[in-house]
Structure 1
Amino acid sequence: MTGTRGARLIQKVSSTRAFARFAPHVVPVLDRTVHRLTRGKVLPSARMLPGLVLTVPGARSGRLRVTPLACMPEGESESTWILVGSNFGRTGHPAWTANLLARPDEAVISWRGRDIPVRARLLEGAEREEVWRVALTFWPPYAAYQARVERQIRLFRLERR
C-alpha cells in the first residue's frame, strides 16, 4: 500500500489527534465482530496493514482478552510477528501490552484464520531501536504517535511456541 495516493491519505488521517480519539472505539469493535462472524477469516483493518487477533489472559483478572491489532510479520515463515503498542498515539500504554508483560507465554494469535500459540518478548535497547526504524518505514504514522506521548512506545516480538 505504501507509495499510493490512498495509502498516503490513510496515513495522514491516522496520524491526527481526531483519529486517535475515535479509532480506538470503532476499529477494534468492528474487527472483533467481523473476525468472530467469519470464524477468523476476515479482519477489516488488515486491508490497510497486516493484522492479527491477540488472545492473552488479563494481567490482573486472568480473564481472556481478545484484541485485534496491526502487526509486522517478519520473514516469509509466518513464525514471528512484531506488535507496536502505539495506542493510536494516546497517553497510556494499551492494556494488551501489560497483559503480554505479565503472561508472555500464554498468548495465542489468530493469523489468517489459524490459531497459533506464541511467546511474547518486550524489545529493548539496540534491538528495539532497529525494529523501531523498520516500524517507521512500515507505517510512518508511528512517528506522529510517538511525538504526542512522553512514554516510549512498547514493541513486542511474538514467536511461535
Structure 2
Amino acid sequence: MDATATRAPRTPPAWFVHGAWRVHRALHRLSGGRFLWTPSNRRGWGALRLTTTGRRSGRERDVILGYLEDGDDLVVVAVNGWDEGHPAWWLNLQAHPEAVVRVAGRTPQPVRAREATGAERERLWRRWGAVDASLDARAARRSTRTPVVVLARRADGR
C-alpha cells in the first residue's frame, strides 16, 4: 500500500489559516460582498456571511463560512481552521443561537442555529464529505469533535 494514500492531507499552520480568513473578510467588506462570496453552485457548496452576537461582548461579529443547502436550512461545520477547539462564532451561537445569514443575491435571513446530532449529523457529515474529500482526514487530526451546525431559517423575522 502506498504510504501517501493513508497520510492525512497537509494543513497550513493555524496562524496562516486564521490570517487568510481575516484577509477574506476584509476583501469581502471592501468589495461590498461581490468578491469571495458565492452562493451554492456546481462545486456543491457556497460561502455565506454569518453575523452572530458575541457571547461576552454582546457586539455583532461577522464571519465568512462555507455552507451546504439542506432544504430550507444551511449547514456549516465548526472547524476552527482545523485547529483544536471550537471557533468563536460557534461559541457565540451556543450562547445566542439567533443570527443573520447573508448569501450573495439574497436578502439577509434571520436564522436559529443548532448542532446536528445522531443520524442527521451523520447524513450531513457525509454530504460535506462528498464535496470535501479530505474532511474525515482533517477531522481525525483534531481531538475535538467537529460540530455540524444547522442554520434554520426563521420565518418570524426575529
TM-score by length of 2: 0.79
Q: Tell me how far apart the structure 2 counterparts of residues 62 and 156 of structure 1 sit (CA, whole Å).
A: 21
- Structure with higher Rg: it is 2
Indicate the SS of the match to 2:108: strand
Aligned residues: 142
CA distance in 2, matches of 1:98, 1:29: 18
Tell me the alpha carbon deviations over residues 57-86 of structure 1, each in whole angstroms, 9 at most, x when there is no partner. Answer: 0112111111011111224xxx31101011
* RMSD, aligned CA: 2.2
Using the alignment, how far apart are the partners of 1:145 and 1:94 within structure 2?
A: 16
Specify the alignment match of 1:85 in structure 2: 78
Tell me, in whole angstroms, the C-alpha distance in 2 between the residues paired with 1:119 and 1:17.
Answer: 31
Task: Decide whether aligned partners of structure 1 residues 63 and 80 sit closer, same or farther in structure 2, where only a CA change above 3 A counts.
Answer: same
Larger relative helix fraction: 1
Q: Which residue of 2 aligns with 1:109?
A: 101
**What is the Cα deviation at residue 45 of structure 1?**
8.0
Note the 1:1-161 alignment, pairs <5 A.
Answer: 15-18=9-12, 20-26=14-20, 28-43=21-36, 49-75=45-71, 79-105=72-98, 107-113=99-105, 114-161=107-154
Q: Please identify, of 17-26 and 117-126, the stretch whose mean Cα deviation from structure 2 is larger.
A: 17-26
Percent identity, please: 36
Q: Secondary structure at the match of 1:18?
A: coil
Gaps of 5+ in 2: 1-8
Unaligned runs of 5+ in 1: 1-14
Give TM-score scaled by structure 1 length: 0.78
